[in-house]
Structure 1
Amino acid sequence: MVSNMPAQDSDKPLFPLPLTPLETFFVLDEKESCPIVSFIELQFSTPLQLPVLQNALNETVKDHPLLACKLVRHGERFFWHFDQDLAPRVLTNEDLPLTTGPANNPLTQPFDLFRESGCRFWYVPAETGSRLYVQLHHACGDGVGMRQVLVGTLTRYARATGDPECGKTSRKSSRSAPNPERLRDRNDFSELLSKPPKRSLTTWDRIRNAYYFHFQRPAALSTPRGSGSTSTQQPPESQAISRPLRHILFSKEESASIEKACSNASIRVNDLAIAMLFQTFEHWEQSHGGGKAIRYRVMMPVDLRSRKDLDLPATNRLSFAFLGRRKDQCQDRDALISSVADEVVAIKETRVHMDFLDGLAAAVQHPRFMRWVIERSRHMTTSVLTYTGDLSRGMKKFFPERNGQLQIGDAYLHNVFGSPPGREGTNVALGVCINWGQICISASWNRQAWDATTTDQFLQTYANNWRAWLERQTIS
């Protein structure tokens, strides 16, 4: 299993801080054409006061120093160096465009982590309110860690715009600020590993898993004719600014029915999401790729945090699990859902996702070999699917609800979305969440292969498969 970091004296300077193996992987695996950058989108029904928001962000980032760091390379190793001048500013489209390139081919702005921090905030006025986008490089943070940043920033904004008691009224909602010194422990999984897995993997299991991962490559989803980076078809909204995420929202009534049907079938919503994604792959390929694909693979992030780790400064405490299916296994919906549910349980019982971190920890000791393997091991997954509900989880403890929205000082927040980055060979990446009783699916895409219109088509097919399953459950 993953070895712990050596003990360090607390009086030693925190920076320069060596990257963990996972953070190093995110740096080495990146290509400028496909940045490893996730987006978080907060939708407000009101405008925000930018100077107040910037002050709130400045104070919050002090608790999360990785968001004000740049990379420095010493030999073959990478280190985080803190620089207060790199703290994120709230940008507008006048400062730096949220997207670049022709209007019909938006390309997400890449980061130069050797010159800037891996976090940007964009404020975008809208016809009915405003949007706040957070662009986050995966090397310096993830959605669960960013929740602390968002709650801290919005709490300070609320106090400054009319709610001085925000965050002070409930013992449950007043958490102490994260201790930056705990960043030293972000690669320490001793608490997790102190309990043995419920089921151990055999040597043969590991050999079979390695063969499956490295030699049974999954299909990349096809690009429909007339779409992709050269397409001129764009939704009307993108004529003003190309949104980095696309969304499908189920109604609250549909969402409640889906959750009830999942409970009756003894599966989780996440199991349904993965199974319906496999079936959507096959439907998509039959319509756009001629059905030539042989196998598909979904990458599912696995959160390794314990409850006390939720107060860590924004950082990565993730591993990844990979679920694969042949095209013929995507036909029988009920068998597919059952097999996915069983496999997710097996992943957690065996902790097979820790083998992924073990491999990175071993590879990082041989940097040239690690670069060689990464360069030859791309196109490893058809899609990424992650649960992004941690962004909004528990927000009602901090902010009062008014007419289905959260009141944050003089502003009203009505939804929070997020999605992992699209990658080379991974043309669509999905984030599923349940925000205040409503199931939301957000998608990012590989800007070199797909466009927003294609992504909308895929999301619609995906949502239709959910609805077809729900209809069958209702009839039966």
Structure 2
Amino acid sequence: MPAQESDEPLFPLPLTPLETFFVLDEKESCPIVSFIELQFSTPLQLPVLQNALDEAVKDHPLLACKLVREGERFFWHFDPDLAPQVLTNDDLPLTTGPADNPRTQPFDLFRESGCRFWYVPEETGSRLYVQLHHACGDGVGMRQVLVGTLTRYARATGDPECGKTSRKSSRSAPNPERLRDRNDFSELLSKPPKRSLTTWDRIRNAYYFHFQRPAVLSKPQGFGSASTQKEIESQAIGQPLRHVLFSKEESASIEKACSNASIRVNDLAIAMLFQTFEQWEQTHGGGKAIRYRVMMPVDLRSRRDLNLPATNRLSFAFLGRRKDQCQDIEQLVSSVADEVVAIKETRVHMDFLDGLAAAVQHPRFMRWVIDKSRHMTTSVLTYTGDLSRGMKKFFPESDGQLKIGDAYLRNVFGSPPGREGTNVAVGVCINWGQICISASWNRQAWDAATTDQFLQTYASNWRAWLKRQEIN
């Protein structure tokens, strides 16, 4: 049940098992950080934006915390001086290293908070980047921060009533005390799952997870050569994410085709990943890969969590396919859709959290298991759905953009972090009727041109599926 108001100070706040996992899982070469990219068709007033962020972060104290270790345990310590600042490239470069393989700035969570903002002015507008360490929060929590920041910005730049008419805004004012029960899922578990897992199911799942390792996507032939670097000269370089966008007409057709096929866009996105894996390995890996795996985040929030500040309240489910199961595309799409339903009905994703809760009691064993599980998944896919649906309640739409005070928001992109053994991580969202696919990558194994190549193949598979649906 939700925590009651307490006379005890909120901080120092013990890390949850999931937060501990993100801290221990990180390697310097592969920071566990995600990016959100907001594209504006107008400039922003930087001092006003900073003031808006300062006020918003007061509602989300984990974004102004650092880690302190006491024995084998970690704690969040709040320090208002650690609240994120809106940086420019003059303050701290957004990325480092070569432009064809830009590397993200790491965090030292023992000295600084795990959240940064960058403002990047451009000739035709501006970009706002958010870099978030996964131990501090997930994408759903960061959306709260962004809505709060942009609402305050709008009120200060010409729209004083922004958000005040939204019923949701009055119900979802963040309450920092709720952070005490961010790992309490008793309400969720109070009702039995629609389908129960047997002991044998769990043994089989554990064997699959630990002993049937998925393939790591290969480097393409000619990786790092001048020819591959030349491919991205005409595109934006030095940026932490890569993107591919469908037209609004294509996007509407894809959504309609999914509805006609009784599947969700998320189901299609996962199935097309499996198809792309096998095509990629046939081309670049000699067809040696045997099985593939996709990790899918599962949001565990309920309506009672509307006032939960930015944090992690999610688990992960894993979907796997052998190479021979990636050939029949219609069967692949159908089986993925059925499995996603089964995941939700059985709550198999809770087993991941249960495993972490048990492992965190034995810190040395937990470190050993994490170190031996570097090849956990071939890729990660996060489907955020229609971002505009939730934001329209706060900001009016004008010509396919959101009007935020004196600014116009054109697009929002995001991607989960890559990882050692997970060479590409994909985020899919729908912005004002347009399906957008973004990707981050493992900088030790791939570069920006390789990621572009993968995304183009992935998008081509979406289009080929759509064409077959239209013919049928």
CA deviation map 1:163-189 (0-9, x unaligned): 111112343454452000000010000
Return the offset for 1:437: 1.1
CA distance in 2, matches of 1:234, 1:314: 40
Alignment of 1:235-246 (within 5 A): 242-246=238-242
CA deviation map 1:226-257 (0-9, x unaligned): 32599870666799851111111111111111
SS at match of 2:117: strand
* Kept in 2: contact 1:38–1:420 (CA 8 A): yes
SS at match of 2:351: helix
* Kept in 2: contact 1:231–1:451 (CA 8 A): no
CA distance in 2, matches of 1:225, 1:425: 18
Return the offset for 1:95: 0.5
CA deviation map 1:316-367 (0-9, x unaligned): 0010000000000000001111111111111111111000000000000000
| Alignment partner of 2:228 out of 196, 214, 232 | 232
* Kept in 2: contact 1:147–1:391 (CA 8 A): no
Task: From the superposition, tell whether residues 6 and 194 of structure 1 become closer, same or farther in structure 2 (CA, over 3 Å).
Answer: closer
SS at match of 1:237: coil
CA deviation map 1:2-36 (0-9, x unaligned): xxx99676110000000000000000000010000
* Kept in 2: contact 1:223–1:288 (CA 8 A): yes
* Kept in 2: contact 1:44–1:414 (CA 8 A): yes
Task: From the superposition, tell whether residues 237 and 71 of structure 1 become closer, same or farther in structure 2 (CA, over 3 Å).
Answer: farther
* Kept in 1: contact 2:297–2:382 (CA 8 A): yes
SS at match of 2:217: coil
* Kept in 2: contact 1:98–1:109 (CA 8 A): yes
Q: Which moved more, 1:227-236 or 1:28-37?
A: 227-236
Return the offset for 1:475: 0.3
Residue of structure 2 equivalent to 1:208: 204
* Kept in 2: contact 1:144–1:310 (CA 8 A): no
Does residue 300 of the first structure (1) align with residue 296 of the second (2)?
yes
Return the offset for 1:87: 0.3
Return the offset for 1:225: 2.3
CA distance in 1, matches of 2:465, 2:39: 30
Residue of structure 2 equivalent to 1:137: 133
Return the offset for 1:401: 0.9
* Kept in 1: contact 2:22–2:135 (CA 8 A): yes
Alignment of 1:25-104 (within 5 A): 25-104=21-100
CA deviation map 1:401-442 (0-9, x unaligned): 111111101100011111000110100000011111111111
* Kept in 2: contact 1:105–1:230 (CA 8 A): no
Task: From the superposition, tell whether residues 325 and 239 of structure 1 become closer, same or farther in structure 2 (CA, over 3 Å).
Answer: closer
| Alignment partner of 2:122 out of 122, 126, 130 | 126
CA distance in 1, matches of 2:405, 2:194: 47
Q: Which moved more, 1:390-399 or 1:372-381?
A: 390-399
Task: From the superposition, tell whether residues 236 and 465 of structure 1 become closer, same or farther in structure 2 (CA, over 3 Å).
Answer: closer
Return the offset for 1:393: 3.8
CA distance in 1, matches of 2:343, 2:232: 43
Task: From the superposition, tell whether residues 459 and 113 of structure 1 become closer, same or farther in structure 2 (CA, over 3 Å).
Answer: same
Task: Name stretches of at least 5 consecutive residues in structure 2 with no aligned partner.
Answer: none
* Kept in 1: contact 2:2–2:184 (CA 8 A): no
Residue of structure 1 equivalent to 2:366: 370
Return the offset for 1:310: 3.0
Return the offset for 1:302: 0.5
Return the offset for 1:389: 3.4
Give the RMSD, CA atoms, in angstroms: 1.8
Task: From the superposition, tell whether residues 467 and 201 of structure 1 become closer, same or farther in structure 2 (CA, over 3 Å).
Answer: same
Alignment of 1:62-461 (within 5 A): 62-228=58-224, 233=229, 242-389=238-385, 391-461=387-457
CA distance in 1, matches of 2:225, 2:373: 24
* Kept in 2: contact 1:38–1:419 (CA 8 A): yes
* Kept in 2: contact 1:17–1:80 (CA 8 A): yes
Task: From the superposition, tell whether residues 395 and 240 of structure 1 become closer, same or farther in structure 2 (CA, over 3 Å).
Answer: closer
Residue of structure 2 equivalent to 1:9: 5
Q: Which moved more, 1:432-441 or 1:233-242?
A: 233-242
Return the offset for 1:127: 2.4
CA distance in 2, matches of 1:250, 1:337: 20
Q: Which moved more, 1:164-173 or 1:414-423?
A: 164-173
* Kept in 2: contact 1:144–1:390 (CA 8 A): no
CA distance in 2, matches of 1:17, 1:428: 33
For normalisation by structure 2, the TM-score amounts to: 0.97
Task: From the superposition, tell whether residues 229 and 297 of structure 1 become closer, same or farther in structure 2 (CA, over 3 Å).
Answer: farther
CA distance in 2, matches of 1:382, 1:471: 27
CA distance in 2, matches of 1:51, 1:296: 47
CA distance in 2, matches of 1:322, 1:298: 6
Q: Which moved more, 1:235-244 or 1:296-305?
A: 235-244
CA distance in 1, matches of 2:298, 2:225: 32
Task: From the superposition, tell whether residues 330 and 84 of structure 1 become closer, same or farther in structure 2 (CA, over 3 Å).
Answer: same
* Kept in 2: contact 1:244–1:444 (CA 8 A): yes
Q: Which moved more, 1:97-106 or 1:39-48?
A: 97-106
* Kept in 1: contact 2:232–2:448 (CA 8 A): no
Instruction: Give the number of equivalent residue pairs.
Output: 472
Task: From the superposition, tell whether residues 464 and 425 of structure 1 become closer, same or farther in structure 2 (CA, over 3 Å).
Answer: same
* Kept in 2: contact 1:382–1:427 (CA 8 A): yes
SS at match of 2:337: helix
CA distance in 2, matches of 1:237, 1:128: 19
CA deviation map 1:125-165 (0-9, x unaligned): 12210000000000001110111100000000011111111
* Kept in 2: contact 1:15–1:80 (CA 8 A): yes
* Kept in 1: contact 2:3–2:180 (CA 8 A): no
CA deviation map 1:191-235 (0-9, x unaligned): 100110011111110110000000000001011123259987066
* Kept in 2: contact 1:144–1:391 (CA 8 A): no
Q: Which moved more, 1:219-228 or 1:457-466?
A: 219-228
For normalisation by structure 1, the TM-score amounts to: 0.96
Return the offset for 1:264: 0.8
SS at match of 1:256: helix
Task: From the superposition, tell whether residues 156 and 9 of structure 1 become closer, same or farther in structure 2 (CA, over 3 Å).
Answer: closer
SS at match of 1:63: coil
* Kept in 2: contact 1:103–1:239 (CA 8 A): no
Task: Name stretches of at least 5 consecutive residues in structure 1 with no aligned partner.
Answer: none
Task: From the superposition, tell whether residues 230 and 218 of structure 1 become closer, same or farther in structure 2 (CA, over 3 Å).
Answer: farther
* Kept in 2: contact 1:392–1:416 (CA 8 A): no
